[in-house]
Structure 1
Amino acid sequence: MRILFAFFATLFLFGAAPAWADDPPAKPPVAATKEARLDQLFADLKRERNERAAERIAGRIWGEWFQSGSASIDLMMQWSQKAMDDQKFDVALDFLDQVVILQPKYAEGWNRRATVHYMMKNFGKSMSDIDQTLQLEPRHFGALSGLAQIMAATGHKQSALEAWQKVLAIYPMMRSAQDQVATLSEELAGEGI
């Protein structure tokens, strides 16, 4: 018995392990990075030909975009959304100004602020925030849609058409983008006659 105890004590003290312990424990699978998840979702979105399935993929992309990685930022985003829902746009802007200051690489903060500026008809400020959003996430079909809407609202139909076409290159099954491309194409063709 003493020999067995001495053997285990030696193993413990000197770090030797029995032969059956040579195999390292199985590591749990590493979760893909946010960027890798987004890359896969965008690839899936581009290939998907079922409108409902594409909407679900787009929803998952929005879910990834909304994750700031900061509880404080997430809370301010929630407060800004509540203020927007209550049409308290100045309050929403106060929160969103803090979001983009505190986390300037968070594309969704810029996009949300662009949306508030758009709702207030501050198109120049909205376009500036859309530009920042697209610098951080060039595939942001929401920001591109906002850009297209501003271009259409300001009478720049060709630019609106081009923005909608960019949306469709990313999200081919977006029904509103398909409709806008068809409408604007017809209008521009009619103007050319």
Structure 2
Amino acid sequence: MGMLHNILKPAVAAASITFLVSSQGFADEARLSLLMDQLRVAEVNESQRLAADIQLEWEKSGSASADLLLSRGNKAMEAGQVQSAIEHFTALTDHAPDFAEGWVSRANAFAHAEMFGPALADLEVALELNPQHFEAIAGLGAILEVIERPTDAYEAYQLVTPIHPHHPAVTEALKRLEPIVMGQKL
């Protein structure tokens, strides 16, 4: 019995840890789902807090090394070191290809470097991983606007409104583009 107990003890511990990690993942998914539901119906003043909480959830990779790469990339962006940020985010997307936030972050860095093709490609991957990522959709709209495709930009921005009805940049962009896309009212 002693030998069997010694073999089972680590196996039970490993199973318990796996269950706890899985449970935490389910709890995070449930929290994110609740926050997304609340955002859809929130008033303007509450929507910004909810969007920030959602962003914090999206930034949870579940990997210490992925979190470190995301942090280093974000710090490089804040310091205006776009090429360094691209390198960190590239390492992140290589390390954690299923982590949508890595693709969104690298797309943002590519866009700052005016590398719009790679930025659009990264946003495509990000949106395959997380179709509700309103910042990725807004980024898509912003890039389409910069490359002078106002109708496509307007359509992208419109996709944000059912998810985040009070997104300030999207609200402003829709107002700005509506006369261009829909024509001036007489």
- With normalisation by structure 2, the TM-score equals 0.83
Superposed displacement of residue 191, structure 1: 6.9
Number of corresponding residues: 163
Superposed displacement of residue 33, structure 1: 2.7
Instruction: Provide the secondary structure at the position in 2 that maps to 1:62.
Output: helix
* Aligned residue in 2 for 1:72: 65
Q: Does 1:152 align with 2:141?
A: no
Instruction: Provide the secondary structure at the position in 2 that maps to 1:169.
Output: coil
More helix by share: 2
Q: Does 1:127 align with 2:113?
A: no
Which stretches of structure 1, 4 residues or longer, exceed 6 Å deviation after superposition? none
Unaligned stretches of 5+ residues in structure 1? 1-29
Which letter does structure 1 place at the counterpart of 2:53?
Answer: R
2:33 to 39, 45, 54: 39
Deviates further, 183-192 or 37-46: 183-192
Radius of gyration: which is bigger?
1
2:130 to 129, 137, 160: 137
Cα deviations by residue, 1:82-137 (Å, 9 ceiling, x for unpaired): 11112211211111111111111000000000000000000000000000000000
Distance across 1 between alignment mates of 2:95 and 2:39: 31
Distance across 2 between alignment mates of 1:91 and 1:179: 31
Q: Does 1:101 align with 2:88?
A: no
Quick check: 2:154–2:181 contact (8 Å CA) kept in 1?
A: no
Which letter does structure 1 place at the counterpart of 2:33?
Answer: D
Distance across 1 between alignment mates of 2:129 and 2:86: 20
Cα deviations by residue, 1:7-49 (Å, 9 ceiling, x for unpaired): xxxxxxxxxxxxxxxxxxxxxxx6653222221111110011x
Unaligned stretches of 5+ residues in structure 2? 1-22
Query: Over aligned residue pairs, what C-alpha RMSD do you find?
Result: 1.7
Percent identity (aligned) = 31
Superposed displacement of residue 185, structure 1: 1.2
Cα deviations by residue, 1:130-161 (Å, 9 ceiling, x for unpaired): 00000000010111111001111111111000
Distance across 2 between alignment mates of 1:116 and 1:46: 28
